Amino acid sequence: MRLYPTRGGGGSIAFSEAILSPLAAFGGLYAPKELPDLGDLNALKALSYVQLSRYILKLFETDLDDKAIDEALKTYDRFDDPKEPTPLVRVGDQLFIQELWRGPTRAFKDMALQPFGAILSNFALKRGEKYAILTATSGDTGPATLEAFADRADTEVVCLYPDGGASEAQILQMIAQTAANLKVIAIKGNFDDAQDALKKLLSSKSFNESTKANGRKLSAANSVNFGRILFQIIYHIRGYLQLLQRGEITNGETIDVIVPSGNFGNALGAYYARKIGLPIAKIVVVSNDNNVLTDLIVAGKYDLTQRKLIATISPAMDILKSSNAERILFDLFGEARTKTFMENLAQNGAFELSPSELRLLQTIFEAAWSNESETFAAMRQSARDGYIVDPHTATCFKALKLGVSRVKVICSTAEWTKFAPILLKAISGEQKGDKEALEIISKRFNLAVSPAIANLFAKKTIAPAPIAPNQIEADVLEWLSKRP
């Protein structure tokens, strides 16, 4: 497997190189050009999740050895059911929800970050190198990254999160971590500010030289890293195979995949799954009030000039600069066109597809968006119907009327326990703090609360004082200088 810079300016690199150094020339990303063929789905439907994952990793011909693959896939032992880490639940006629949040931090980010942590650490140890790993989060990537790398040798993790831009449970998950190789920084600003800061640090010559002087190289755990995306392809394939196993569909029958999206990594995983042969008719990208992706898919316009990020009840989707959309542009329109798009976005705050480009995009994607009142209503109605959803998953119900009648799979990206006050308000109008809301909902609906969430509120933690983005570099370097 070779990966190429999305904006040109360089040759291809191996999978391991892209994991360790994820940013490409001109500020671009790495993505594949050639993809394998998935093969006969009937031959895959009897495989366990781990067996399927091993098959896909081999199919993509990564430069991972068998030991590294085994260590990575062993991390699924930490999920509720290691044999089936992504349960598929029927919630209506031709409608299923794939629960991607059954891992240690109760969010879909665990599906990729648990094995990714093992792989990056493995590469570092093999090379005898130390890595400073940066991540920016709108709520779920941070806890999942910190959990994946806690106490791993030869790695330090710096996690940036926007002050006030995550739920109480998500913030507690981050600041309650005690491993010495982890640092959490609250920044003044929103997620886009955090993501911009991360990219600037990764591409900063002075910062790279300073970290090198501290005996470390830089990498990133956000989905700018293709190592994350590869593992996000697998669960989309697994969802289809589960439908086959149950006789809900026949081999080759197309389905729709509905994804609540912010940074587009989840939708990108579905795109690559479709491209290697998974029968997905449409990938439906759902947004909240920050619906810039809706504009791109419906009208072919990506315009930030009249937009300001809106803080919503689905904070992991509060993103305007959707990094992984670049990989779609690269795959569909090539590196030169992608470079032009990204330069226009950086210089003018906008870019626009041609009519023919938009038609091509729309053969694969559809889009919808759910405002706050609609999301509250969807949570309330789903609870009445007997299934509890978080505010991100709830946005997907807005998309159910799109397209033709066929089996649809909603990707559920977080457990309700991380957003209990929002859910309680949706259901009954009550306004309580996280701990009390958890207790009320769990008793009312006879639901268990994962110890990973319940135990957070017994820990004595102090949130870090937020700092300005221009202070991050000095803060990180000071911390790294004190690390062994």
Compute the radius of gyration of the chain from its Cα atoms: 21
Report the distance separating Cα 367 and Cα 284, nearest Å: 5
Greater confidence (106 vs 203) lies with 106
pLDDT band at 262 (very low <50, low <70, confident <90, very high): confident
Q: Is the pLDDT of residue 98 over 80?
A: yes
Looking only at the bridges linking them, the beta strands covering 155-162 and 182-187 are parallel
Q: How far apart are CA 143 and CA 173, in angstroms?
A: 6
Contact 255, 282 (CB under 8 A): no
Element (H, E) at 443: helix 434-444
pLDDT of residue 139: 85
| Among the listed residues 393, 381, 37, 242, the one whose alpha carbon sits nearest the alpha carbon of residue 255 | 242
Answer yes or no: is pLDDT of 403 > 80.
no
pLDDT at site 257: 98
| Other Cβ atoms within 10 Å of 206 Cβ, number | 10
**Full-model pTM:** 0.95
Instruction: Say if CB 69 and CB 54 are below 8 A apart.
Output: yes
pLDDT digits (tens, 9 = 90+) for 458-478: 887 888 999 999 999 999 999
Distance (Å, rounded) from C-alpha 24 to C-alpha 28? Answer: 5
Number of H helices, E strands in the chain: 20, 15
Q: Are 392 and 316 in contact (CB under 8 A)?
A: yes
If you search the block for the tokens 């896909």, which residue do you land on?
A: 56
The whole-number average pLDDT for the span 4-27 is 94
DSSP 149: H
Q: Is 404 a residue whose pLDDT tops 80?
A: no
pLDDT at 271 (0 to 100): 98
Of 457, 468, 456, the C-alpha closest to 147 is: 456
Average pLDDT of the chain is 95
Domains and CATH numbers, the chain: 81-107+227-458 (3.40.50.1100), 108-222+462-484 (3.40.50.1100)
Report which of 149, 138, 87 is spatially closest to residue 115, judged by C-alpha positions. Answer: 149
Closest by CA position to 323, among listed 225, 208, 217: 225
**49-59 and 226-246 helices, crossing angle to 10°:** 130
Strands 30-32 and 2-5, bridge-based pairing: antiparallel
Phi, then psi, of 202 in degrees rounded to 5 = -65, -35
What Å distances lie between residue 286 and 228, 391, 409, 455, CA to CA? 21, 12, 13, 32
The HSE-up count of residue 429 (CA atoms within 13 Å, CB side) is: 0
Using DSSP bridges, classify how beta strands 350-352 and 301-303 pair: parallel, antiparallel or unpaired.
antiparallel
> What is the pLDDT at residue 426?
97
The single-letter code of the amino acid at 171 is I
- Confidence tier at 187 by pLDDT (50, 70, 90): very high
Q: Can you tell me the mean pLDDT for 439-451? A: 96
Tell me how far apart the alpha carbons of residues 470 and 475 are, in angstroms, rounded to a whole number.
10
The first and second tokens of residue 32, run together, are: 């594949």
Going by C-alpha positions, the residue among 416, 377, 373 that lies closest to residue 393 is 416
Question: Alpha-carbon distance 379 to 390, whole Å?
Answer: 7
CA dist., res. 219 & res. 149, Å (int): 13
Share of the chain above pLDDT 90, in %: 92
Say what the pLDDT of residue 91 is. Answer: 97
Maximum separation of any 2 CA atoms in the chain, in Å: 59
Distance CA 94, CA 98 (A): 13
Bridge partner residues of 183 (DSSP): 158
pLDDT tens track for 345-368? 999 999 999 999 999 999 999 999
Q: Which of 44-58, 122-136, 241-255 has the lowest mean pLDDT?
A: 122-136
CA distance 281 to 421: 36
Mean pLDDT of the region 322-343: 97
Three-state SS for 12-53 is: CEEHHHHHHCCCCHHHCCEEECCCCCCCCHHHCCCCCHHHHH
**Helical axes 226-246 vs 109-127, angle rounded to 10°:** 130
User: Per-residue pLDDT for 33 more than 90?
Assistant: yes
Per the model's pLDDT, the better-predicted residue between 401 and 56 turns out to be 56
| Residue ranges with strand state E in 188-305 | 217-220, 255-260, 280-287, 301-303
